Each structure stands twice: as C-alpha cells, then as structure tokens.
C-alpha cells in the first residue's frame, strides 16, 4: 500500500492514486512526473512508440526518463542515478521480481497488456518501500472490475501476446495474459559461427473480487521462462541456459470507514537458473536462485488535513549463490542461506499551508542470518507550490539493501547471482538528496523540470572474476569481492510540449558516478560501470489524422567504462596483457534512432486495430557491447601491432506487427 493518494488540480488534469495513473487530457506523452521527481508511464501511449521486434517494452521505455542511464545493447537492467543494476528493485503487485529480462535484453518479462500502471520512485521514496538503495519500480496489474469483456494483444515478428479481461457478474473479474516467442530465426542472425535456439514465454493470471464489507480481494500470478542453447563451432563448445521467475500475491483491501483502509498481503516469489556449458567435452553445471515468502500489512488513515500510513513487512528468504560442478566434481558449492528481513514503517503527508506540503516517514528494518543487522531509514520530502503552474521540491532518503546482486556479464544474461549480507559483506547504505523545480506554460501544453541529486553509498561491491575464470578451480565468492564506497551526482532536465497533434519530450542528464576501494586502483576513485557523463533522449509523436500516428525515439549516452588493454606481450607461446587504470577506458558512445508508423483501421468489429511498421536503429549504428584485442603482423615492416575489435549484438532491425483490441 502506498501512502501517496491525492488529486493534483492543475491544467494537466492529472490524477495520481495507489492504483493507476489516469490522464484526462489529450496528451499522449510517455512519462508523467509527480510532485517529487518520480515518474509514471502513460500506458495508453505505449502502442504509438517504435518497437523492437514488433513489441513495446515498458522497462526499456523507462530508460528514456531522466536519471535512468541508457545501457549498452543487450541489457534491460535499470541503472538509476549512478546505482548498479542490483540497486534498483522491481515490484510486481508488491512482490519482488528478481530477474526481469529475457536473453540479450530484447524484452523484459513484463507483458504490457497485463499491466495497468508503472511508477519509478527515485527521489522522495515512501517509507513503505525498502531493500533498495537507488530506486523502486512499482508495476501494477489490473485491479478494477471491467464493464465489458475485452481481448487485446500484439502479433510481431518474434513474439505474440494476448490479454483477456473477463467480468464475471458485477462483483468478480478474471484477467489473463500470455506471450510466447518464435525468436530463434533472429538470434540465428547474430553470428554465422554460432547457432542459437531460443524461446521465452510470459504468463499471468489475475482475479479481482468485490467481497462486500470485507473490501476487495486481489489475486495475481506471474510466470516466465527462458530456454536457450548455443553451439560455438570454432571452440567445439555448446551451452544450455534456462531460467524462470514465478510469483503470486494475494491482497485484501478493507475500508473500515471513509477515513481508514486496511491492506493485508501474502506473496511468494521464486527465481531459479541453470547454466550448462560444455567446453571441449567437459560438462559443467552452474546453478543459482532466490526464493521469498513474505507478508505485508498496512493501514492508511485520511484525516482532515493529514494522511497517515503505517505497516509491517516480513520476508523469509532462501538464497542459493552460484554453485559450479564439473560432472561429479564440486568446483564451488555455495551454502544456501536462510534469512529473515522485516521492517516497520510509518509516514504522513501534511499540507502545512497552501505553500508547504510535508511528506515524512521512517522505516526501521531488520535483517537476520548468522548475524542481526538493524537500521533506521528516515525519509522526508517537502513540496513548495509556488503558483498554479510552478512548484519546488526537496527530498532526502536513507536507504538500506541487505541482498547483493553480483554481475557476471554486460548482457541481460541470467548468470548473475545473489549473495546475502554477511560479516565480510555488510548491507549497502545510501544517502540520497535531491532538489527540483517544475513549471508549465501555454495552458499546460509546455512543461519543463530540472532536478539536482546527490548520492553517497557505503559497502558497494566490485566482483573480480567472470564465470569462465572459475570453471577451472575452487573459488570462494567472498575472496573475489571487494567492498568500498561510492558517490554519484547529477542534473536532470526535461522539456515537453503537447497539443492535439504533437507530443515531444526531450530529457537530458549530466552526471558522474564514482567508486573507491582500498584494494582497487591503488585506492584512487574510478568511474563506476554505471557512469554515463551525458544521457540524452528524445520521444516524439505526431498524429496527422485519426488513422495515422508517426513517432520517433532517439537516445545518446556516453559509453560504459571498462578496464582497457594498453599493450600485449609475447612470452614463449603465450600473450601477456598490460592493463590501464581500472575502468579508465570507455566504450564508444551509444546512440540510435528508431522510427515508427502506425495505421489504425476504421473501427468495425474491433474496438482498435492497427498495423505498426518500426525500424530500430535506422542508421545501423554498431553500438559495441565489448572490446577485444588481437596481435597482427605487418608483413611490409615485419613488425607486430595490437588491433582493437568492437563487438556489437545487432544493428538495424525492421519489424511489422498487428495490434488489436475487441
């Protein structure tokens, strides 16, 4: 249950609630800011956006919002305000979703027609949210009983999806969705030296019941699975990879009277993956997973001028860090950790005057395994309405995170694993402060905002190995981890214009993200993997008639830092590398332009039907995912030199899809 439930009366006629975001104006703009720098997605506008492989993905569109770094190709992870991927938590109806991406970052596991709303909290984070130091992404499925039966979906070149809304009388409703891929033909184009067989699927079922005086009962389930097999002929190697998420939530929302509402929820969330590489006839098995069982109970009290919310969270969690076996030989068998995470929280929203609104709270968290950690986490946000068209806000959060994501790839490739806080790996902490201003003109058609932020992080981690490095011997994960400090700061700006025909939004973030470890880079600060000095995005939509919608998106970001090779030496029959400063090099800048045209057929039997033609990466930019180096010989001078190679996943991808609703 979120403590934010209010109506904002301004020219945009915007209503924000705990359930969804409804925009009553004609705007089709994608992102909708609230009063403290957080954003929601306008789900109705997603169908007009350019598509990758014929499908719209909500998490990738979040990368166009201020403060969210555009990642390299093949990655849908969220890097928010200088944090790492593991510092951003995704909640689906309140339950954590641990692996939100499909292979190579084509899509997230979220089926868009099954979602009613999405909000990204990155400043002024309410006290009801925890277990993250950078951001919370709250994804909500449908929660209201529809008046009519509906089916909607999309059929593209690599996947098809459908969602059903079925009212059962006046008091019950059933929601169901499914998406399945036929993507192997596309992954097969990635390399002529490798064959890849790949399938994925996403499935969800929800149930809403009006249970009279007891209130509203909400039940939702989600399941997704990925299965991939690759053969690399050059190295006589093959690899099988499968992973899945499964979660379920059951929530009872009970209004006691006009001022008091209770909410009680139980949930379960499981993530599991298995990697089976076969290298020169040697078979390995690499397994990892996380399982949660949780409950959440809260109350919201609406007084004359003050909204108060309070509640309790409790989670029993099993973490299985990465274990590696070679046949019957154990290379690295990690201990399964059983942990308890719990928290009490309370917050209030108080309009002190017509010019000052206070949103303050505290969360007191506890984590227990072999040791018990406790941490108070204060939150405060102040809103200053300067006029009917301008507002100023400031916020501060202290956030604690007890579970650590250890990255092993730059791709959305489920070999990353989780570790629990322990004596050599304490919980991560971050101080987060922000100051923002927003205004509008031309009766709300022109909007702008600017927000400065600063974060200081404790106990951030760096991992000193990759999965191929540990397949040959016994390794201890803790021995390969370094724990240090981090700092990030930046300035986020956004300008948007909307009228009956045009929607344009330009977002730009200027930022730095640094890390400092005693045992890395001689103790000197270095750029974090999430460091992007410049991040620019453009979203534009033009509707010349009721039948046509034209849209474009453009993204530009400074390249990802990495540790570069400065020289190669030959010693006997082996090459020796000389490396530069840690994360002292950068990949080439990332940028691509995507275009889309949608033709909407005249409604007859279908409420909505349209053909979308999209071109991803129009000018075929090869955005490198990684760099490699080889030694070449100059026959004319009989000298050796080092050649840099850039490796990209894909370039231009045209697609066509059919969107329907009836």
Residue extents of the structural domains in the chain: 6-661
Please, which residues have CB within 8 angstroms of residue 307's CB and are 6 or more apart in sequence? 3, 5, 6, 300, 301, 348, 349, 350
pLDDT band at 567 (very low <50, low <70, confident <90, very high): confident
Inter-residue contact 123 to 436 (CB < 8 Å): yes
Nearest alpha-carbon partner for 288 in 386, 406, 423, 401: 406
Residue 409 vs residue 292, higher pLDDT: 292
- The C-alpha R_g of the chain, in whole angstroms, comes to 25
C-alpha 467/C-alpha 321 separation (Å) is 13
CATH fold group of domain 6-661: Maltoporin; Chain A (2.40.170)
Strand partners, 181: 159
The pLDDT of 47-71, averaged and rounded, is 80
pLDDT band at 344 (very low <50, low <70, confident <90, very high): very high
pLDDT band at 466 (very low <50, low <70, confident <90, very high): low
- Say how many residues make up the chain: 662
Asked whether the predicted pLDDT for residue 60 surpasses 90, the reply is: no
Inter-residue contact 278 to 285 (CB < 8 Å): no
- Report pLDDT for 46: 76
CB count within 10 Å of CB 447 equals 22
- Report pLDDT for 499: 87
* 3-state per-residue secondary structure call for 278-314: EECCEEEEEEEEEEEEEEEEEEEEECCCCEEEEEEEE
Please, which residues have CB within 8 angstroms of residue 394's CB and are 6 or more apart in sequence? 381, 382, 433, 434, 435, 436
pLDDT band at 465 (very low <50, low <70, confident <90, very high): low
Please, which residues have CB within 8 angstroms of residue 237's CB and are 6 or more apart in sequence? 231, 277, 278, 279, 280
CA distances to 109, 505, 557, 660 from 612, rounded to whole Å, are 22, 21, 27, 11
pLDDT band at 463 (very low <50, low <70, confident <90, very high): confident
pLDDT band at 24 (very low <50, low <70, confident <90, very high): very low
pLDDT band at 6 (very low <50, low <70, confident <90, very high): very low
- Could you give the percent of the chain with pLDDT greater than 90? 45
pLDDT tens digits along 170-222: 899 999 999 988 866 665 555 555 567 788 899 999 999 999 889 999 999 99
CB count within 10 Å of CB 404 equals 26
Asked whether the predicted pLDDT for residue 346 surpasses 70, the reply is: yes
- Report pLDDT for 111: 87
Residue 45 vs residue 352, higher pLDDT: 352
The pLDDT of 414-418, averaged and rounded, is 76
pLDDT tens digits along 288-317: 899 999 999 999 999 988 999 999 999 999
Residue 594 vs residue 236, higher pLDDT: 594
3-state secondary structure of 592: strand
Q: 88-92 and 135-141: which strand pairing? A: parallel
Asked whether the predicted pLDDT for residue 234 surpasses 90, the reply is: no
């Amino acid at each position: 249950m979120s403590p934010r439930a209010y109506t904002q009366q301004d020219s945009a006629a915007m209503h924000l609630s705990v359930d969804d975001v409804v925009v009553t104006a004609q705007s089709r703009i994608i992102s909708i800011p609230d009063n403290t720098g957080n954003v929601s997605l306008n789900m109705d506008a997603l169908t007009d956006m350019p598509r990758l492989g014929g499908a719209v993905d909500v998490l990738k569109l979040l990368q166009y919002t201020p403060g969210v770094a555009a990642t390299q190709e093949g990655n849908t992870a969220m890097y928010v305000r200088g944090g790492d991927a593991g510092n951003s938590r995704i909640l689906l109806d309140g339950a954590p979703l641990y692996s939100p991406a499909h292979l190579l970052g084509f899509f997230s596991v979220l089926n868009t027609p099954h979602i009613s709303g999405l909000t990204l909290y990155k400043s002024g984070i309410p006290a009801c949210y925890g277990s993250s130091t950078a951001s919370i992404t709250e994804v909500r499925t449908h929660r209201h009983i529809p008046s009519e039966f509906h089916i909607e979906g999309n059929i593209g070149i690599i996947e098809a999806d459908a969602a059903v809304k079925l009212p059962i009388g006046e008091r019950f409703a059933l929601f169901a969705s499914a998406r399945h891929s036929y993507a192997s033909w596309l992954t097969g184009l990635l390399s002529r030296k490798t064959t890849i067989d790949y399938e994925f699927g996403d499935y969800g079922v929800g149930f809403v019941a009006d249970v009279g005086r007891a209130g509203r009962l909400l039940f939702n389930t989600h399941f997704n699975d990925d299965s991939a097999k690759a053969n690399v002929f050059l190295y006589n190697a093959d690899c099988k990879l499968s992973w899945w998420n499964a979660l379920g939530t059951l929530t009872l929302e009970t209004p006691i009277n006009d001022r008091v509402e209770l909410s009680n929820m139980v949930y379960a969330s499981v993530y599991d993956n298995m990697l089976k590489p076969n290298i020169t006839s040697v078979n390995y098995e690499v397994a990892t997973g996380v399982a949660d069982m949780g409950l959440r109970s809260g109350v919201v009290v609406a007084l004359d001028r003050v909204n108060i919310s309070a509640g309790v969270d409790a989670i029993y969690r099993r973490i299985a860090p990465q274990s590696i076996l070679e046949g019957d030989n154990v290379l690295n068998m990690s201990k399964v950790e059983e942990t308890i995470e719990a928290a009490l929280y309370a917050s209030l929203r108080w309009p002190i005057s017509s010019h000052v609104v206070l949103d303050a709270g505290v969360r007191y968290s506890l984590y227990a395994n072999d040791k018990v950690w406790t941490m108070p986490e204060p939150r405060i946000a102040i809103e200053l309405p300067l006029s009917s068209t301008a507002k100023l806000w400031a916020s501060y959060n202290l956030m604690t995170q007890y579970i650590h994501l250890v990255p092993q790839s730059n791709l959305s490739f489920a070999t990353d694993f989780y570790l629990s806080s322990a004596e050599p790996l304490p919980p991560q902490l971050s101080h987060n402060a922000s100051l923002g201003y927003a205004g509008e003109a031309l009766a709300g058609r022109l909007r702008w905002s600017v927000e400065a932020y600063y974060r200081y992080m404790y106990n951030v981690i760096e991992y000193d190995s990759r999965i191929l490095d540990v397949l040959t011997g016994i390794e201890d994960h803790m021995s390969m981890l370094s724990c240090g400090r981090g700092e990030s700061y930046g300035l986020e700006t956004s300008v948007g214009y909307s009228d009956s025909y045009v929607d344009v939004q330009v977002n730009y973030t200027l930022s730095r993200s640094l890390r400092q470890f005693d045992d890395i880079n001689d103790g000197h600060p270095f750029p974090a993997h999430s460091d992007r000095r410049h991040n620019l995005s453009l979203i534009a939509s033009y509707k010349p008639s009721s039948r046509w919608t034209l849209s474009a998106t453009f993204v530009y970001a400074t390249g990802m830092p990495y540790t570069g090779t400065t020289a190669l030496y030959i010693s006997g029959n082996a090459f020796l590398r000389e490396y530069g400063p840690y994360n002292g090099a950068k990949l080439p800048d990332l940028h691509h332009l995507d275009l889309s045209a949608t033709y909407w057929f005249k409604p007859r039997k279908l409420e909505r039907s349209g053909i979308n033609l999209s071109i991803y990466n129009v000018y075929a930019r090869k955005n490198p995912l990684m760099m490699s180096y080889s030694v070449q010989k100059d026959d004319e001078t009989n000298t050796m030199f080092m050649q840099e190679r850039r490796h990209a996943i894909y370039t231009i991808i045209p697609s066509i899809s059919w969107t329907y609703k009836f």
